[in-house]
Structure 1
Amino acid sequence: MTTTVTAAPTTATEFARAEERTAHNYHPLPVVLAEAEGAWMTDVDGRRFLDLLAGYSALNFGHSHPALIEAAHEQLDKMTLTSRAFVHDQFADFCAELGDLCGKDLVLPMNTGAEAVETAIKVARKWGYEVKGVPADQAKIIVASGNFHGRTTTIVGFSDDPVARDGFGPFTPGFVTVPYGDLAALEAAIDANTVAVLVEPIQGEGGVVIPPEGYLRGIREACTRENVLFAADEIQSGLGRTGRTFACDHEDVVPDIYILGKALGGGIVPVSAIVADRDILGVLKPGQHGSTFGGNPLACAVGRKVVGMLATGEFQRRGEELGVLMRERLEAMVGHGVLAVRVRGLWAGVDIDPAVGTGRQVCEALMARGVLVKDTHGSTIRLAPPLVVSAEDLGWGLDQLAAVVTGG
């Protein structure tokens, strides 16, 4: 597949300026965006693009959702930051409402998803030493191959992606990797020093990889039986993306620790958290963990509105209903420029036939047609439309994908 992407004059200039003065830790598509509303974005040259990535699920509620913007504006006029040295008037309600959404006692707010994962790792180890009785510095956490939990040095240390891992060692010990979806391997890896199993219910960066039916239930049963914490990284998969509040809900599974982020900030501010019961999060004492911006007033005000919107069930229903449309359309492309698709709710991984081109080339061709998506692992593209996208706009975007992969 050969694509020629010619940037408009202003776009070309701004893109070149950005590339000149930034570290090249990303390989963005050559588009420079200026405004956005709902599922649509407009670039500096006035061209409109349908957003089918939604900030890797950070924009589940679309761009500039009126209710979220209103909550942010109202809080901006009052107070934005106190640090956790003090308590502010949004904090108690945010923790209570998010805890209730998850069915858990306590909330520990942070900012980014990677921070939330690091927090869960620390809490699991502390719980292992103080509650389970694991000998000092011997705690083990089981993780899955193909995982993506962030890019801190601890987290990339248990990644098997050489791009994320190579050149950043030495790494933190204490992690055991087993094949994703292989329950028997996971159970065999548990020993007396295992304190937690950390998995994504669906692997997002891996290409929307959905585990076999019963995998999550099996993890839950094994963790309960062996006195091990089940920590579910729902940063990308949670908060309505899969047609349920959490991806774990598809198997009626409740983990010991929910790890949340991305959509929790409504696409406005970075908000993350881990949510667990008192017997787990209660192991932390003052000074043992923290964040200056974690749980700040602006974050809590926006986060409260996100939780309130999810409590209605409206967005979960949209994710489920529109997901049926997306599944039907994508499955019809298999054998016609697409090798395989994996769909759960309004989230899909699409494996492109190499005869068509690379995932990057397909993304560039879609960009030329006014649709923005992103590739992963060379030949796969991910679709994660905002939950507010209309059926008509989603259908149009999928039309463009069908045209690209079939050479139409």
Structure 2
Amino acid sequence: MTAAPDALPPTLTYADILAARAVLAGQVMRTPMLPAPPLSAITGAEVFVKYENLQVTNSFKERGALVKLASLDADERRRGVIAMSAGNHAQAVALHASRLGIPATIVMPVTTPFVKVAATRSHGATVVLDGETLAESQVRAEAIQAAENRVWVHPYDDAAVMAGQGTIACEMLEDVPDLDMLVIPIGGGGLIGGNAVAAKAIRPGISIIGVEAGLYPSMWNAIRGENRPVGGPTLAEGIAVKIVGRSTLPVVRDLVDDIVLASESELERAVNLYLTRQKTIAEGAGAAGLAAMLAAPERFRGARVGLILCGGNIDPRILASIMVRELEREGRIVSVRITIPDRPGVLGMVATRLGSLGANILGVEHRRLFLDTPAKGTKLDVTLEVRDGAHLHEILAALEADGLPAARIETGGGQLG
């Protein structure tokens, strides 16, 4: 496991987190912690959400970044700071460094969503795009740090940063003291590490459940001694970390009760549920806690669960794609192949008939060259918006009765039935 650039920080204590609360008072928003009845109905648990997506930079990262920056002496502030980040830590460091008059340079992977890069630059930081992953960005950041004698602000492997993140659990347990468990995303481990220390100090019997993207089971591997593959494009780029923290690993090993791996489809569904049911925006990493509940519902059923919606910086184009994909998964957007005679007026007739059946036509494509189609016929692929599966069966039956054989097809063109 690769070491962080600085020496191993001292053991994090609850006293450190209380001191961090004093630093953050009046400087960072105390975000709301609210019940989420729609999510409770879906998961079978009693769910409460901590809305860290409402911070100025739309992420919890402001807490740790400010605590670290506030700890610097005059010489360190003059020298400036360096950080590597996939986006949210970058914005947090940039914002609070600007407020404190500290020069900041941030190295970000070239795969970072543009919305995060643009936001980081808007806060006044110098942005360097380098590397496909955080690990590669860290190499470049270390080189800049050495060449320019800047102060390292690590996104997770730092006691001050962990203390700042741990203030979230303090607020959650003040607002809802009798939570049974917290479900917390894991990247490098700073968020879960700080909050595990705080939560176990306040409520020793509480369960701390971590969640990683299934493509990046780095902490899972480190804790369990496994060697699952790590890497690949994930919706949760904010927790797509290949190297867990030296300082966070012992905390997770000692205080975290379990780790759940969430698939990409579960992350997508969680993002969509936050938007459609809670009317709030979550990025993939921000929705990971809810994704864990979708991945292992029996683990949470009947419990009082606190989720940290830790970030809301998602590319609008990706969010729109997720919404459409979820409609397809739910059977509300479907493709139907209809065999029709190839003569004038038939397409209009089909469109009128589908309209009368309550279907909304989203797209149409002719398939004249299929060998199983009569020479004077054609197949029509129609993408429809329908109410649900029952509505689709009603439409298919009506078309069949009209002498227009129809069947549902997969999005890629393969037959479903």
User: Which structure has more helix as a fraction of its residues?
Assistant: 2
Which of these two proteins has the greater Rg computed from alpha carbons? Answer: 2
TM-score, reference length from structure 2: 0.31
TM (norm. structure 1) is 0.31
Structure with the bigger RCO (C-alpha within 8 Å, sep 6+) is 1
